[in-house]
Amino acid sequence: MTDKCKRCAVKTALSESDIQRMIDEVSAMRGVRLIGEDAYKKRLDVCEGCEKLLYGTTCSACGCVVRVRALLADGRCPKKKWG
């Protein structure tokens, strides 16, 4: 498997530290509402079983990093599988 996106030719596989930095940045933003821990885990469970998940991190339907999108109280799954 490649870690490059065919379309944009940039690295698309993210490291754990990349993702944690993104989560930290979103969590620190003013006015952003975060979802509770149980609901967050349920969303991620759905993503983990979804055929749209790439590299274990990224939704191929919308390009989001699922661990970041699922954290947002107003986050939505583009395929309406959660949120």
**Binding interface with ligand SF4 (CB under 6 A):** 46-47, 50, 52-53, 59, 61, 66, 77-79, 81
Nearer to ligand SF4, 14 or 77 (CB): 77
The nearest distance, CB 23 to ligand SF4, in angstroms, is 16
- Quote the tokens at residue 3: 């870690």
Nearer to ligand SF4, 7 or 30 (CB): 7
* DSSP-assigned letters across all residues of 27-59: HHSTT--B--HHHHHHHHHHHHT-TTEETTTEE
Q: Which residues contact 62 (CB under 8 A, 6 or more apart)?
A: 69, 78
Nearer to ligand SF4, 30 or 36 (CB): 36
CB atoms within 10 A of CB 64: 19
The nearest distance, CB 24 to ligand SF4, in angstroms, is 21
